[in-house]
Amino acid sequence: MKKVAFITQRYGNEVLGGAENFTRWIAEHMSKYWEVTILTTCSKDHVVWDSFYPPGEDCVNGIRIKRFKLDEARDFDNYNRLTKKMITEECSPEIQEEWMRKQGPLSTDLFKYVAKNKGKYDFFVLFGFAWASTYFTISEISKKSFILPFAHDEPSLYFDLFENVFDPVAGISFNTPEEKELVNRVYPKTIKTPSAIISVGIDIPTKIETGSFLKKYKITDPYMIYLGRIGPEKGCPELFANFIRFKQKDRGGAKLLVLGSGAMPVPRHSDIIYLGPIFGREKFEAIAGCEFLINPSPFESFSLILAEAWLLKKPVLVNGKTAVLKGQVLRSNGGLWYETYPEFTEACQILFKDKALVKKMGENGKKYVEYNYNWELIEEKYVKFATMLFGS
Greatest Cα-to-Cα distance within the chain, rounded to the nearest angstrom: 65
- In this prediction, residue 279 carries a pLDDT of 86
Q: What is the reported pLDDT for 335? A: 98
Give CA–CA dist 228/101, Å, rounded: 27
Predicted confidence at residue 68, as pLDDT, reads: 98
Q: Judge whether residue 32 has pLDDT over 80.
A: yes
pLDDT at 109: 98
Task: Compute the distance between CA of residue 237 and CA of residue 234 in angstroms, rounded to an integer.
Answer: 9
pLDDT value, residue 24: 96
Task: State percent of the chain over pLDDT 70.
Answer: 100
Predicted confidence band at 16 (pLDDT cuts at 50, 70, 90)? Answer: confident
What is the layout of strands, in order, in the sheet containing 195-197? 56-60, 63-68, 34-41, 2-7, 123-127, 145-148, 171-174, 195-197
User: Is residue 315 scored above 80 in pLDDT?
Assistant: yes
Residue 284's CB is within 10 A of a number of other CB atoms, namely: 21
How many Cα neighbours within 13 Å face the side chain of 67? 21
Residue 364 pLDDT class (50, 70, 90 cuts): very high
Cα separation of 130 and 153, whole Å?
12
Specify the 3-state DSSP secondary structure of 181.
helix
CA 386 to chain centre: 22
Structural contact between residues 169 and 148, judged by C-beta atoms closer than 8 angstroms: no
Same-fold call for 2-201+374-390 versus 211-372: yes
Extents of the domains making up the chain: 2-201+374-390, 211-372
- Looking at residue 183, its pLDDT comes to 97
pTM of the model: 0.92
Name, in order, each residue with C-beta under 8 angstroms of 250's C-beta and a sequence gap of 6 or more.
345, 348, 349
pLDDT attached to residue 75: 84
CA distance 259 to 241: 17
Query: Which CATH code is given to the segment(s) 211-372?
Result: 3.40.50.2000
Predicted confidence band of residue 18 (pLDDT cuts 50, 70, 90): confident
pLDDT in tens, 127-152: 999 999 999 999 999 999 999 999 99
- Per-residue pLDDT of 54-92, as tens digits, reads 999 999 999 999 999 999 988 888 899 999 999 999 899
Q: Is the confidence at residue 161, as pLDDT, over 90?
A: yes
Q: Which helix (H) or strand (E) holds 363?
A: helix 355-372
pLDDT digits (tens, 9 = 90+) for 200-237: 999 999 989 898 899 999 999 999 999 998 999 999 99
Q: Tell me, what's the pLDDT at 392?
A: 83
Selection from 171, 161, 162 nearest residue 141 by Cα: 171
Model confidence pLDDT, tens digit, residues 333-360 = 999 999 999 999 999 999 999 999 999 9
First-to-last C-alpha distance (Å) of the chain? 9
Q: What pLDDT shows up at residue 47?
A: 84
For 2-201+374-390, the fitting CATH number among 3.40.50.620, 3.30.200.20, 3.40.50.2000, 3.40.50.1380 is 3.40.50.2000
pLDDT of residue 250 exceeding 80, the answer is no
